[in-house]
Structures are given as structure tokens and as C-alpha cells.
């Protein structure tokens, strides 16, 4: 079985996980729009693809998958997910299974306004969100909302242009800045469908958690692994502990059953007065997955087994709790 990871970026560990699963029974291919990727060092085969928004992107991938008999494609980047989700059938026709959720679910994850609507429509707690700055100012003057307010790109990735407004001057300035940042980055592509490119959210105070909601390839929820974030830096988790928080777990099992997503859903949660608020959803392996893997969860293995039509026991997608993982940095010669 051959596996290809697209938009692989810096995630060398994903290549290693899949190589370990495949052993001598298949190759790991990686694909990225530039070669500035440490993942290229570890993959069996690598290729530089056109940019995701290039009209040649999907034809290029189809051709490459056919030529190299790729059985499974997994993307690690939000914008790429949507593109692949929309062309899933074409890959199916050449015998390549794209492990990606329905386009409607990817859109719910990529568009933070749709995330908010989806969550509240389905009775999950989420931070109060707005698209209209004047509505925010009005709500605050009425005492129905208060500073600080989080200002961020509606179709944001990572911590690009995420900022906190403490007063109206901040709010106006950060809105202008966010719009400029969007116009000057790849965020402009997804944002182009709307004029409301910035989203405003109440700033929750509480303990932050991350989670992997694991569904099988038919979209049935199989497990949820929760990590308590103990230290963050530049929007990424430096230290996290795997925990057994029943309240969060039950909420996310219900979320997984609602999204019916495929394979992994990476999630951010804030616990506020004992209630789990869902902040973000990413329909893919997220930066926090290595913590679950450290605890013994092997979702890459489960995906390969499921793709072969085999059943996967719960142990394969479970992690020990109580253990803490630290991010460590190495410089590797290429």
C-alpha cells in the first residue's frame, strides 16, 4: 500500500509514523509546493507540486497518483483539504482513496463563522462570534459583551494575524490590519468569497485543551483523545498532558457523531466554569497529534487497516492518560 501526504510542510513526524506502519509493504510519498520541507528527507519519494490554487494542481496530482499507484492520499493543510474533498471522486476513479471529509464539513472547519453557526445550531458551546464590527461595538455599549475581543481572519490558519482588542481604537486598528494581512497572504484566496473577512469573538478565560476526534473511514466516531495544554508559544503547544476529562470527551464524541468527518478532527477547547467551549475545528491531523501518538495512539496504522477493509481494535486508537509530552527541537542536516 502506497501513501501520499500532500501539503506536508514541516511535519516530518507524519512521514515517520506512516513509514513505520508500512514497513516494507509500501512507500510514503510526500508532496509540497516548495522543497523547503524537512519531510522530504524522510519520505521514500517526493515531488514538488503546483500551488493549490493553480488550475494544474488536481490534474498534476491525479497523474502522479496514477503513475505511482498511490492507494491513499492524506492532506495536512486546510485549503488543500477543501480542494481534495471537492475532487474526491476523480481520485476514486483511478483507484486512489482520499482520506478527507465531505466538502461541507471542511468548509465548516475552514470558515470560522460557519464553525460558530454549526456549533451553536447543534447545541454545542462556542465563544460568541460576530462578523460586523459595529454590532460588536453596539453590543459592548449595551453591556451585552465586553472587551477584550479576539480579532482574527475568518478563514485563518495558525496564529496569522490573531490579535486581542482591549478598546474601540484597538478594534478598528486590528480590523484594518487583519484585512491588510489577509490581502497580502494566501488567506486571500479562501477569503475572496466574502467581504466579511474578519471575525470577532468573545475572549474566553479558562484552561485550554486540545483533542483528536477519531472517526473511521465511514465517519463513525471511534474515540476521542484529550490533552491539557500546559505551555504555548507562538500559537503552538509546547507542553501538554494526556488527560481523562469525561466532560470534554462526551461532548466531543457527540461532535464527532454530528460532523461525521473522516479520520481525524483536531479540536481546540476552553473549559469555562466546567463547560467545554469549542473554539476551533480542523478536519485533519493537527499539530497536537504527536502528543496522542506519544501516548500509544496509532491513527496512521488504523487508517491503513481501515483502507484495507480490516477492523481496528480500540487499543490502536487509544492513548494512556496522565503522561506529559514536551516539544523538543533538533537541527537535522539535509
Where on the chain is the footprint of a copy of itself (CB under 8 A)? 10, 12-13, 36, 38, 41, 159, 169, 173, 230-231, 233-235, 238-239, 290-291, 293-294, 323-334
Q: Closest distance between a copy of itself and the C-beta of residue 296, in Å?
A: 10
Q: How far apart are CA 324 and CA 41, in angstroms?
A: 28
- CB nearer a copy of itself, residue 159 or residue 247: 159
In terms of DSSP bridges, do strands 129-130 and 149-153 run parallel, antiparallel, or are they unpaired?
A: unpaired
One DSSP character per residue, 59-115 reads HHHHHHHHHTT--EEEE-SHHHHHHHHHTHHHHHHTT-EE----HHHHHHHHSHHHH
Cis preceding linkage at 252, omega within 30: no
Q: Closest distance between a copy of itself and the C-beta of residue 94, in Å?
A: 33
Q: Closest distance between a copy of itself and the C-beta of residue 114, in Å?
A: 28
Q: Closest distance between a copy of itself and the C-beta of residue 290, in Å?
A: 4
| Residue 325 grid cell | 509530552
Q: How far apart are CA 166 and CA 148, in angstroms?
A: 5
- CB nearer a copy of itself, residue 258 or residue 324: 324
Q: How far apart are CA 243 and CA 282, in angstroms?
A: 20
Q: Closest distance between a copy of itself and the C-beta of residue 324, in Å?
A: 5
Q: How far apart are CA 291 and CA 296, in angstroms?
A: 9
| Residue 147 grid cell | 472587551
- CB nearer a copy of itself, residue 12 or residue 82: 12
- CB nearer a copy of itself, residue 60 or residue 173: 173
Phi-psi map region of 263: left, alpha, beta (phi>0 left; psi -120 to 50 alpha): left
- CB nearer a copy of itself, residue 241 or residue 258: 241
- CB nearer a copy of itself, residue 161 or residue 251: 161
Q: How far apart are CA 95 and CA 107, in angstroms?
A: 25
Q: Closest distance between a copy of itself and the C-beta of residue 23, in Å?
A: 21
Amino acid at each position: 500500500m502506497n501513501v501520499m501526504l500532500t501539503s506536508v510542510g514541516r511535519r516530518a513526524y507524519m512521514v515517520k509514523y506512516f513509514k513505520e506502519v508500512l514497513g516494507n509493504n509500501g512507500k510514503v510519498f510526500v508532496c509540497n509546493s516548495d522543497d523547503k520541507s524537512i519531510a522530504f528527507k524522510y519520505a521514500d519519494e517526493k515531488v514538488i507540486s503546483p500551488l493549490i490554487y493553480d488550475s494544474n494542481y488536481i490534474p498534476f496530482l491525479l497523474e502522479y497518483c496514477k503513475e505511482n499507484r498511490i492507494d491513499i492520499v492524506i492532506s495536512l493543510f486546510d485549503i488543500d483539504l477543501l480542494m481534495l474533498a471537492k475532487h474526491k471522486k476523480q481520485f476514486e476513479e483511478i483507484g486512489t482513496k482520499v482520506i478527507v471529509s465531505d466538502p461541507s464539513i471542511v468548509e465548516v472547519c475552514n470558515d470560522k463563522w460557519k464553525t460558530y453557526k454549526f456549533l451553536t445550531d447543534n447545541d454545542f458551546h462556542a465563544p460568541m462570534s460576530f462578523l460586523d464590527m459595529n454590532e460588536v461595538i453596539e453590543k459592548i455599549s449595551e453591556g451585552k459583551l465586553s472587551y477584550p475581543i479576539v480579532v482574527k481572519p475568518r478563514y485563518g490558519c495558525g496564529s496569522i494575524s490573531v490579535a486581542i482588542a482591549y478598546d474601540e481604537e484597538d478594534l478598528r486598528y486590528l480590523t484594518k490590519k487583519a484585512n491588510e494581512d489577509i490581502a497580502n497572504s494566501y488567506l486571500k484566496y479562501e477569503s475572496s468569497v466574502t467581504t466579511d473577512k474578519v471575525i470577532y469573538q468573545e475572549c474566553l478565560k479558562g484552561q485550554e485543551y486540545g483533542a483528536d476526534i477519531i472517526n473511521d473511514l465511514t465517519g463513525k466516531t471511534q474515540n476521542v483523545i484529550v490533552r491539557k495544554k500546559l505551555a504555548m508559544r507562538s500559537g503552538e503547544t509546547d507542553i501538554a498532558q494526556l488527560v481523562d476529562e469525561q466532560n470534554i470527551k462526551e461532548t466531543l464524541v457527540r461532535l464527532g457523531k454530528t460532523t461525521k468527518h473522516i479520520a481525524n478532527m483536531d479540536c481546540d477547547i476552553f473549559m469555562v466554569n466546567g463547560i467545554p467551549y469549542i473554539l476551533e475545528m480542523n478536519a485533519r491531523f493537527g499539530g497536537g497529534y504527536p502528543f496522542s501518538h506519544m501516548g500509544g495512539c496509532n491513527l496512521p496504522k488504523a487508517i491503513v487497516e481501515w483502507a484495507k477493509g480490516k477492523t481496528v481494535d480500540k487499543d490502536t486508537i487509544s492513548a494512556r492518560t496522565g503522561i506529559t509530552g514536551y516539544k523538543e527541537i533538533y537541527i537535522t542536516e539535509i
